[in-house]
Amino acid sequence: MRVALFWMLAVASIVSGWRVFRTDSMVRAAYWLMASFVAVGIIMVQLDAEFLGLVLILMMAGEMTIMAVFMVMFMMNPAGLNPMMMVHQHRASIVAGVLAFVGLAGVGIFARFPEPTLRASGQVTAQLGHELLGDSMLIFETAGVALLATMIGALAIAGATGRFGSADEGSQEPGEA
Amino acid sequence: MAGARVEVVLGQRPGILKRLAAMAPVRVFAISGSESAEIETLIADLELEQEIVLTDSPRSANVLLAMGEFPGSMQESARRIHDQLCGPRRTLWLRQNVSAPSEAIFPKAIREDTHCDLALLLRKIHRDLLTGVEPSEEPILPDEEPALWRGVGPYGQGGTGMTGGVPYGRPMPETAPDRDGLALDQLSVRVGPFFRPFPSGLTLALKLQGDVIQEAAVAENPFDAKKLNPDFESGDPFIRALSEPVPVVEMEMARARHHLHWLCNALQVHGLGALGLRTRAIARSLSPGMIAPIAQLRKILRYSRSVSLVGAGVGVIQPDKIRDRGLGPVARAAGLREDLRMTDPAYQELGFEPVVHAENDVRSRLWQRLDEAMQSVTLAARSGNATSGGGGRVEGPRGVITLDGNSLPLLLGLLPDLLYGLEWGDAVATVVSLDLDLRDVRSQRVS
Amino acid sequence: MISYGRLLGELATIALVLLAGVYATVVIDLWAGRMVARAPVRAFRALTFPIRQTALFLLQQRATTERPDAPLWALAPALLAAIAAASLLVIPFSSQTSAAGIESGIVYFGALMALVMIAVYLNGWSANSVFPIIGGYRFIAEALSYEMPLALVLIGAALPAQSLSVSAIVISQDSLWNVIRQPLGLPIYLIAGLGVAFWGPLALPDAADLAGGTESELSGVQLLLWRTARIAVLVAVAAMGAAVFLGGWTGPWLPGAVWMTLKTIALIFIMVGAGHLVARVRLERFVLVAWTVLIPLALLDVFAAGAVVLAGSPR
């Protein structure tokens, strides 16, 4: 049962990954990629990397949506519903894609991984926490807090009632001196 | 699909599902053309019925309630709305004079005059429709593509390259720079004339980036075509007061009711349907001096901070654009002490002092009308037999009314500048806060 | 190892619980609305309202728009309903029923709530119509703003339990509920929860000023599914809140499941009541407040919870 589920998810992740390049809309492409990530996330949950798998889904839901919205925003395409070719440089990209897939799959199959030092138990998340917040804690915390502060600052500036009064004040139409 | 096939052999009872559906609240989408105060009261009463729901979008309604006469430019839109109702659907067309000749806007509509028991009639239409006694109406307009596209272009999708042609029948939008200098999509959209939060007949031609308005133009007022002389026979005390003295109590109660009905609409737009209903009920049973329920409503709005949540800093008008123009509550909400009643001896005797709010935004226009309603109810209780009017100029609930016109054209003229750069939600709040009525062209004389 | 037979049984239970919750929420909402409106309530009508309304929607035709993305449009309500149902998997309704083999219950819940954003955006986008897609865009801005506070207060609640499992969090509240231990937690959670279910003050994607927004082109079965799924999300949010902040199944005299139900209904009542009394906030204002007020407050909540745990733990 578990094995069957694994294969189903594996096939689903590859098929939806392939559909990303075959669909003709930016939003559909983004969400095919999302579907692929969800399948990978569930595989990770199955492999007892529960926390990592769930966090993958959590993060990708936001990221794929932001990606879709930004693409729609910048491409001249009403809300991404009109059809468009989603790929260019077909030959090169096909070659690169196949090479990358074969290479990674080869690593997965032929590489000799260290003997499993972790027992499959509920301790995986805790051990992950110790790893992240042990030796590397300073790096992670610094980066995390800096990023968060940047985001909050950006929001405070971009809001219509900005840090220094109304955001409209003093802004110029582009092209005007 | 089920709706299209509703057929009932005589004598056979409809199935349990149909009978249950027939007992469901009637979903009504209401559109109104030129209408009289009579019809306005009908729709206000309709909202107080528990088993009738007025929907925001025509899609999920079963009954289209059309009220009044529709001038030429609104007829096409009215037919479109009709076809957007998903079956089973039926149209009820209320007209003041049902036997008067009219254009066949809704060929299959049930026609009634305004004296009917509307709620009862709607329930009957709904029941007959859902149990299959009456068939669903066919669409009026043909189902056509907006532009020819099939077979055109490399994939037959109607376009060439990325932006050429009309892919799938719709032209690609143009790009335009936004405030930060990025070139982003710009979507051209027309909203109206039956967009529920807007006054009937108001159509805005918009250019949107996301939901930010980059350009707003007000389409021509469809009701402008038939400019009428003031109808002194009408029940409207403010129109009557142009030519003759009218009891102050009558005018002030009318003003209070007007403001409360407006408040109800505003609350519904801001997601407070239940409080809106409460306002409607207060307006219906209002009597002089009945201040407590309004004060209680005010308290709820203050403690929930609702008014500032929806309107703080939104829709601020430059004061010099509204000074000395007779804009009534809108001007007074901007801190301007302007009110014809200040110079009226009848009101001076009552010790009238205008209510004023300073912030000049959607928030202060909400407070302004709520406070004016309370003031009017108090004034009405104290006024006794005092009368006012007859001088050709009256302070109406929407500002000064004269024999030559009212505040409507001025307020409509403010819109394009006011809406520029607003997010859509703020734009709607702003339009609502101005209390426009496009039908209010009665007192605009043809000169 | 997951037992699949048990999982199926649990799924059936969840579907039943969810439907009952949705039914109760609709009636509560109707009743609260009539109370706020000072209008008479007819008990029989209110109690039968969901059935009659369902029958009507089942008989209504489905709306079609000009060239919608039909598969994604059909998928959106199903996705939303699936999210609500799946999130109930990790919410323990009594000390006996536990999660379906998922230890990181809180993270799982957070991941599902992030997917709500996709369901709402797809529902708006695939209709190929103006108001729905504006509703979809609005929700993305809203969702990105409430997600961080939501995740942070849930982490704060997990700290005293020293576990990400929801059952462990309930057990950790044996002596003192998290709502008292972490006073900032529940209010922030409820605000974010209103956002997740896009309800009341945070009903931005399907607001009246968009003529219904993402649901303005829906009718019939599709509308029925969408609204049911949305209320199911609200129920799931309330149930999680009851487990994580109000001590879940713990309580004297009554069985655990009854306590859990009562607490869930209490939270539903608060959220529904807020919907009738507080106006819909402006999007721009909400985004700003979420990032500059709610996130710092939620961080404070986490730091305080962490400090308490460290102070209490033996060195």
The residue of C69, C288, C309 whose CB has the most chain A CBs within 10 angstroms, and thus the best one to mutate to test that interface, is C288
> Which chain C residues contact residue A159 at CB under 8 A?
284, 287-288
Is B210 close to A168, i.e. CB distance below 8 A? no
Question: Which residues neighbour B333 within 8 Å (Cβ) at sequence distance 6 or greater?
Answer: B356, B357, B359, B360, B361, B364, B365, B367, B368
How far is C205 from chain B, CA to nearest CA, in Å?
A: 11
Q: Which carries the bigger pLDDT value, residue C1 or residue B387?
A: B387
Nearest-CA residue of chain B relative to C32?
A: B274
Q: What is the pLDDT of residue C24?
A: 93
Write the single-letter amino acid at C82: A
Residue B316 has pLDDT above 50, yes or no: yes
What span, in angstroms and rounded, lies between the C-alpha atoms of C142 and C286? 7
Closest by Cβ to A50, choosing from C103, C288, C291: C103
For residue B376, the one-letter residue type is S
* Residue whose tokens read 């027992």: A119
Partners of residue A174 in chain B, C-beta under 8 Å: 177, 181
Q: What is the pLDDT of residue B1?
A: 38
Nearest residue to C149 via CA among C124, C113, C102, C199: C113
Q: Is A95 in the C-facing interface, judged by CB distances under 8 Å? A: no
B184 touches chain A (CB under 8 A): yes
Asked if residue B9 has pLDDT above 50, the reply is no
Among A152-156, A173-177, B245-249, the range with the most confident prediction by mean pLDDT is B245-249
How far is the alpha carbon of C138 from chain A, nearest alpha carbon, in Å?
A: 11
Q: Which residues of B touch C280 (CB under 8 A)?
A: 270-271, 309-310, 425
Asked if pLDDT for residue A70 goes beyond 70, the answer is yes
Confidence of residue B46 (pLDDT cuts 50, 70, 90): confident
Q: Does B409 touch chain A (CB under 8 A)?
A: no
Interchain contact C289–A (C-beta under 8 A): no
Mean pLDDT along residues B385-392 = 82
Q: What is the DSSP string of B263-289?
A: HHHHHHHTT-HHHHHHHHHHHHT--TT
The reply to whether C164 touches chain A by the CB within 8 Å rule is yes
Beta strands in chain C (DSSP E): none
Selected residue of A24, A32, A44, A50 to mutate for chain C interface (largest C Cβ count, 10 A): A50
* Chains in contact with C via at least 3 Cβ–Cβ pairs below 8 Å: A, B
Q: If DSSP codes are grouped into helix, strand and coil, which group holds residue B105?
A: coil
Looking at residue A164, its pLDDT comes to: 52
The dihedral through the CA atoms of C184, C186, C191, C196 has a sign that is: positive
Which of the four pLDDT bands, split at 50, 70 and 90, describes residue B71?
confident
Q: Given this model, what pLDDT does residue B441 score?
A: 60
Distance from the Cα of B245 to chain C's closest Cα (Å) equals 37
C4 in A contact zone (CB under 8 Å):
yes
Among the listed residues C312, C298, C7, the one whose alpha carbon sits nearest the alpha carbon of residue C155: C298
Rounded Cα gap, residues C183 and C188, in angstroms: 9
At residue A83, the pLDDT reads: 61
Q: Are B26 and B51 in contact (CB under 8 A)?
A: yes
Q: Looking at CA atoms only, how far is residue A78 from chain B in angstroms?
A: 6
Contact B188/C at CB under 8 A: no
pLDDT tens-place string over residues A5-56:
889 999 999 899 888 888 877 888 888 999 999 999 999 888 878 888 888 9
* Average pLDDT per block of 10 residues along chain C, 315 residues long: 69 86 92 89 87 90 82 90 88 67 82 92 87 90 91 90 85 85 91 93 90 88 93 94 88 83 93 92 88 90 89 69
Q: C38 or B162: whose pLDDT is higher?
A: C38
**Which residues from chain B sit within 8 angstroms of residue C36, using beta carbons?**
274-275, 278
**To probe the interface with C, which of A37, A38, A57, A65 has the most C CB atoms within 10 Å?**
A65
pLDDT of residue B394: 86
Average pLDDT estimate for A138-163 = 78
Chain A touched by B181 (CB under 8 Å): yes
Query: For residue A177, what pLDDT band results from cuts at 50, 70 and 90?
Result: very low
Structural tokens at position C283: 């999007």
Q: Does B256 score more than 70 pLDDT?
A: yes
pTM of the complete model: 0.89
